[in-house]
Structure 1
Amino acid sequence: MHQTKEPITNESYLNMDLLRFTTAGSVDDGKSTLIGRLLYDSKAIFEDQMEQIEEISTRKGKGYVDLSLLTDGLRAEREQGITIDVAYRYFATPKRKFIVADTPGHVQYTRNMVTGASTANLAIILIDARHGVIEQTCRHSFIASLLQIKHVVVCVNKMDLVDFSEEKFNKIREDYTNFASKLNIPDIRFIPISALMGDNVVEPSTNTPWYQGGTLMYTLETVNIASDLNMIDSRFPVQYVIRPQSDEFHDFRGFAGRIEGGVFKPGDEIMHLPSGLTTKIKTVETIDGQLEEAFPPMSVTMTLEDNIDISRGDMIVKPNNQPEVGQDIELMLCWLNEKKMTPGGKYSIKHTTKDARCVIKEVRYKMNINTLHKIEDDKTIGLNDIGRVLIRTTSPLFYDSYNKNRITGSVILVDEFTNETVGAGMIL
């Protein structure tokens, strides 16, 4: 492995914060090359990988090292020169850990983009400097907005092919800003880059003296994502009840799960849903011992002062700040399956740690994700379509709207017979 400037120790690695980001752009905008460049310039590639890529690049008669080969892992992707499935890559710099999802640009792979973007803190949207803002740019930005990705970095790529023209860059920035004003994206930044040559990716470029902002790597290392977590609405979906069988812990009864919102401390008054019973937190424990406080996305075990009947799928919240509780739920639903959605159809639904069943009561409209228009007259939802639907669940869900909390505001629908995940929904 190449040596980084400062060695990353095990301890510093474990304590670093993690940024998940996704890349989106049209076919041939250079997404895979950009990720390859980030990995290559941040010294996150093994030497044998580098040798293999250099050898393939030479064999193909390319006058440069084809860095896209680092992420286009499927053979079909390499043969066709396109990205088909979501490829995840992991790397770290001395400042942060990263998980990057390289998602496809094609319309028929919208579901793959939704999958890759659903957990991202930040989206990189690539625009070819020669072509400017195109239909796919708009589609990817809409999906990023729908999935509540708070930070978008618009990388105007292939600047070397337009002579690093400031005028071209400013025109693209203006066009994109006009379109994005219709979307809900609070933080948008623009960077002129050349993924192939490395301009403004990890090192600042001498070819863009007119650009005063940071490089892409600097932006990824410094963007503030701590404030994106919901620290106000306390939500603790229970995953598992811990009742050890040993004599030593005879009376121990703990509730394990991951905190999805707010802060929990010993002594806090809490409410159990669905019963509505209240009690206080006795301890908050982890494998390393007891904690003074816990917050998202920590996985902990709570013990309570009173004995309440709590099981998987229940939720622990604060009495003065409760989620919505209901069975009739409005969703923006992205359909992920070849088989069209059946109005009136029954599906299994998974929401936080709760499993239930649901029926599709009504399709309100379908989105044209290129123009953002609502299609009222055609309500058939097929593969890669996104529409607004009303569902009814067999038992109440404890939920928030997706823009308030991405975890308690999302559901997945599963076909009861094939067990395939058929839809991903954002609660409105």
Structure 2
Amino acid sequence: MSSLSDIARSIEASLTSRPPYCSGTLPVPPEQLILFYDIGGKLDLSDSAPEELDKLSDACQPATFGVNKEDVYDESYRKARKLDIRNFATLFNIDNIGLVDVIRNALLEGEDENRRIKVEMYKLNVYDSFFKPHKDTPRSASMFGSLVVVFPTPHEGGEFVLKQDGHEWEVDFARMISDTVQQPCIGYVSFFADVEHEVRIVTAGHRITLTYNLYFIPETQTVPAIFSSTPYEQRLAALLYTLLNNPSLLPEGGYLGFGLRHQYPVETGMEVEELQDCLKGNDAALARALSALGVTWQVRVFYRDFGASNYRYNYLHKRIVDLSGSEVEDDYNYGWYMGEGAEEVAYASLDGQVITQGCYDYDPPENGRKLARVTKMASMTSSQSPYVTYGNEPTLEHLYGDVCIVADLPASEHRTIKEVA
């Protein structure tokens, strides 16, 4: 029989196994490859002379990129040119070529395949150089991904590289498009918004792209409990079922924590339950699997090692807390500083043994519940804020919080887990 830690490792491996993108080529009617720009500028992107592409590049502005919600221009990081949507027009229509359906089927999983998607054109880029590794800036909590369309203009290099969790994938559009000689084709890559990506150096020609932001249109209810029969989610549910049915798992009950695999925009004071309708990719798959197994779950913030002097405590919270400017006295009434919506928990192993806080003194909450992690709790979505503690002398500390999915388990003798066929 597998140990609890072995099953937990299998669950974590399952949540990191799916590539966070889809890519390919699609045929396009020639008339959809006409681009109008500037004053009187017109270009056939399926058959353009180098000097015509030079004119388009000259009509563009230097491309910026997002850093901490600001647009930054730095040619050492990104060397490309852009046209904002008000400065060009195109007959290209992703709905007419079925690209949205391709994204649903190849990128999304389970019930997400049935969610309504809003596609928002963002900008046109002309690359004759590079864009170093970066992540896209989420425009809202409902933005789940990005779509890049590459037009069939002759170029060499400019490979699109994606990175996540130590894995790397390369999409060579120059080669893919050159292999489609029978009919004009576009290349595409769609990926979750928090995935790191880069454009390698374009060594010849011009690489012309359209970028779109992808949003889920909000539904009237949260993630449904109707379970998908996709093989990936079935495997995940089977692993969870094995773990949750083990009587050694938190025998007195408590919480199971799963760090989020994707990044979501959060801000001070935000109720993180708002993210439950916006979960994407593997996070959404995990939530659906827990619901199908009859397990209650919520999105919470896990604040660890909070306190003053040598005394540290852990909290689950409903919202993002900012203690900047706060002075925390060494009086052990730390729940008061955390505010409404905070619940003190004891950090524990999967079998329910309380884990001491390293070199810190730690008294588990007398009536508090235990929290054990299944996957890494260093979430992709996190927050931190500084605060000053007063014990023997003032000390600068930091409050670290990770947004996570928390499953609520009763004691093992009262636990009933549904089996998913």
TM range (shorter): under 0.3
Higher relative contact order (CA 8 A, sep 6+): 2
Higher share in strand: 2
